[in-house]
């Protein structure tokens, strides 16, 4: 079994290409996962799709042909040539795949290093695959260790203190272009998803009024009620009127197409600043008006400042990722069922042999009976261990096996140096999520 990770991110892929690769509906994502799982070499699959990256995370029997298959299927899906995708993709195998996964979960590979949103997105991607049986034990182990690594990075470094996300970067850019303050301004926020809510929170913290524009007015109003008196709600039918009334616009819908077009825009006497933080993009190419349009990739200058401030913390964080990557593979070696069964049999054999030697020494059994008694003892402990052996082998590929194996190791004092039950607490260890 191999871990394989195929990565398209802001590091190797421009926003136009990422738009085509993005899975912007559960139906498209599930269809793609079905294709992956039905391929002969792929055991398990998870797809992480965000505005800044698409990560294909796999457990596979074989790497080369699997990579070819995934790139080909992505080419069919995105309508991007296979040659271009092969040229852009970062491909990681085994230790490299785990190190990259842990780096992503710890937000070290993010557009804004230290942002906390990626960990939640990765958990959502994992849960989506797990609940639909696209992934099981192999990727569950890697994902839970990734979350543990991310928690250690957050707790051991300052890399996520005053976190900077794409949403907060957009608001910071707005403050910069408007002279440092947003008090008294009104910001339009199109959409009511997680990115829109984050944007609204940053605007409110800067003293800016917020108008939510969304198709689902009930959902938008519920969010507005939670965020407070600076937030109001307008229907999507007023979008054209509102974008021509206010300076600031932040758009982050989940629409598969643009929602703001050239013919919606009117000439105004004031300069407007629009932030398109959606993938696919929400705002069409607008020409002939005094409007600055910032896309996700245009926030790179803020990102660079953030990177400079966090460089020392990032080095510390990468050392943690490296340590967790090494520990993960060391820990995997302790989970094999066959060595556990062998050790149990060895312990039973040694114990029976020790008792037999004592019995002969004390005269309870004659030396001439050693061979016959040995056969009886051997048959006895084989019979005793038969059921546990079968059960261990039967559950060896299930997520629950990890906890059971660790418990057996603890009870029988097997490989005591590497007991890790307390440090590996899988929320699916009993076959169901914790609430």
Average pLDDT, the chain: 86
Let me know if 135 is a catalytic residue: no
Last residue of a domain, one of 306, 339, 355: 306
149 and 277 housed in the same domain: no
**For 424-435, how does the pLDDT look when each residue is reduced to its tens digit (9 = 90+)?**
344 433 333 333
Residue range 305-350, pLDDT digits in tens: 666 666 778 888 899 999 999 889 877 766 667 777 788 888 888 8
| Statement: residue 201 has pLDDT above 50 | yes
101 lies in the same domain as 52: yes
Domain match, 192 and 151 both: no
Q: Within a domain: residue 371?
A: no
Residue 417, CA distances (Å) to 8, 342, 346 in order: 39, 18, 18
230 has pLDDT over 60:
yes
SS (H, E, C) 110-171: CCCCCCCHHHHHHHHHHHHHHHCCCCCHHHHHHHHHHHHHHHHHHHHCCCCCCCCCHHHHHH
Residue 130 lies in a domain: yes
Do residue 148 and residue 188 come from a single domain?
no
pLDDT at 301: 67
Tell me the two tokens of residue 274: 């629009």
| Residue in 187, 241, 193, 239 with CA at minimum distance from that of residue 209 | 187
**What total of structural domains would you count in the chain?**
2
Residues 26 and 9 occupy one common structural domain: yes
Nearest to 421 by CA among 401, 393, 435: 401
pTM across the whole model = 0.61
pLDDT, position 329:
85
Looking up residue 273, the CATH number of its domain turns out to be 3.40.50.720
Which residue did the predictor score with more confidence, 396 or 133?
133
Domain that holds residue 298: 166-306
DSSP 108: S
* Same domain? 30 vs 173: no
pLDDT of residue 231: 92
The pLDDT of residue 37? 95
Question: Is residue 303 scored above 70 in pLDDT?
Answer: no
Q: Are 11 and 90 in contact, with CB atoms under 8 Å apart?
A: yes
Asked if the structure places residue 314 within a domain, the reply is no
Which helix H or strand E contains 315, and what residues bound it? helix 311-333
Same domain, 146 and 239: no
What b/e sequence results for 189-202 when a residue is b if at least 16 CB atoms lie within 10 Å of its CB, and e otherwise? Answer: bbbbebbbbbbbbb
Please check whether residues 247 and 288 belong to one and the same domain.
yes
125 pLDDT higher than 90: yes
Q: Three-state SS for 189? A: strand
Residue 187, in any domain of the structure: yes
Token pair of 402, please? Answer: 């990890």
Per-residue pLDDT of 237-285, as tens digits, reads: 999 999 999 999 999 998 888 999 999 999 999 999 999 998 888 999 8
Q: Give the tens place of pLDDT for each residue, 36-90.
A: 999 999 999 999 998 789 999 999 999 999 999 999 999 999 999 999 999 999 9
Instruction: Compute the distance between CA of residue 320 and CA of residue 298 in angstroms, rounded to an integer.
Output: 30
Is pLDDT above 50 for 357? yes
Q: What is the mean pLDDT of residues 389-396?
A: 77
Q: Are residues 144 and 232 in the same domain?
A: no
pLDDT at 288 (0 to 100): 79
Whether 418 is in a domain gets the answer no
Among residues 378, 406, 377, which one has the least CA distance to residue 392? 406
CATH code of residue 102: 3.30.460.30
Q: Which of 246, 276, 306 is at the close of a domain?
A: 306
Q: Per the domain annotation, does 294 fall within a domain?
A: yes
pLDDT score at 255: 87
Whether residue 269 is contained in a domain is answered as yes
pLDDT of residue 415: 62
Q: Would you state the pLDDT for residue 373?
A: 87
Lowest mean pLDDT among 12-21, 108-117, 243-252: 108-117
Residues 238 and 154 in one domain: no
In a domain, 171, yes or no: yes
* CA–CA distance, 431 with 435 (Å, rounded to integer): 13
Residue where a domain stops, chosen among 131, 162, 193:
162
In the prediction, which pLDDT does 162 show?
55
Same structural domain for residues 96 and 212? no
Residues 129 and 212 in one domain: no
How far is it, in rounded angstroms, from Cα 290 to Cα 301?
22
């Amino acid at each position: 079994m191999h871990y394989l990770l195929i990565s398209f991110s802001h590091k190797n892929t421009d926003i136009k290409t990422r738009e085509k690769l993005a899975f912007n509906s559960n139906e498209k994502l599930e269809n793609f996962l079905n294709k992956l799982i039905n391929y002969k070499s792929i055991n398990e699959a998870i797809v992480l799709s965000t505005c800044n990256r698409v990560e294909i995370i796999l457990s596979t029997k074989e790497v080369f042909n699997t990579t070819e298959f995934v790139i080909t299927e992505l080419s069919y899906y995105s309508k991007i040539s296979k040659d271009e995708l092969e040229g852009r993709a970062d491909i990681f195998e085994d230790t490299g795949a785990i190190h990259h996964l842990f780096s992503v979960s710890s937000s070290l590979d993010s557009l804004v290093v230290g942002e906390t949103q990626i960990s939640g997105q990765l958990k959502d991607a994992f849960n989506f695959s797990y609940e639909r049986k696209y992934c099981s034990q192999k990727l569950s182990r890697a994902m839970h260790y990734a979350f543990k690594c991310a928690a250690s990075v957050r707790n051991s470094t300052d890399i996520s203190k005053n976190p900077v996300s794409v949403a907060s970067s957009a608001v910071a850019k707005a403050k910069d272009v408007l002279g440092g303050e947003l008090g008294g301004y009104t910001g339009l926020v199109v959409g009511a998803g997680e990115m829109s809510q984050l944007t609204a929170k940053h605007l409110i913290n800067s003293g800016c009024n917020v108008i939510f524009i969304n198709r689902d007015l009930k959902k938008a109003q519920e969010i507005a009620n939670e965020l407070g008196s600076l937030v109001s709600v307008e229907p999507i039918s007023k979008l054209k009127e509102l974008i021509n009334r206010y300076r600031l616009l932040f758009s982050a819908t989940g629409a598969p197409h643009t929602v703001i077009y050239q013919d919606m825009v009117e000439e105004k006497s004031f300069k407007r600043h629009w932030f398109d933080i959606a993938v696919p993009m929400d705002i069409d190419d607008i020409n002939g008006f005094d409007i600055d349009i910032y896309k996700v990739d245009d926030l790179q200058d803020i990102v660079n400042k953030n990177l400079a401030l966090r460089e020392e913390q990032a080095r510390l964080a990468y050392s943690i990722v490296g340590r967790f990557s090494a520990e993960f593979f060391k820990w995997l070696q302790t989970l094999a069922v066959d060595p556990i069964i062998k050790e149990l049999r060895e312990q039973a054999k040694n114990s029976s042999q020790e008792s037999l030697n004592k019995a002969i020494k004390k005269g309870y059994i004659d030396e001439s009976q050693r061979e016959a008694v040995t056969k009886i003892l051997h048959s006895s402990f084989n019979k005793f261990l038969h059921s546990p052996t079968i059960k261990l082998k039967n559950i060896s590929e299930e997520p629950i096996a990890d906890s059971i194996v660790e418990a057996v190791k603890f009870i029988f004092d097997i490989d005591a140096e590497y007991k890790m039950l307390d440090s590996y607490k899988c929320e699916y260890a009993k076959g169901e999520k914790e609430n």
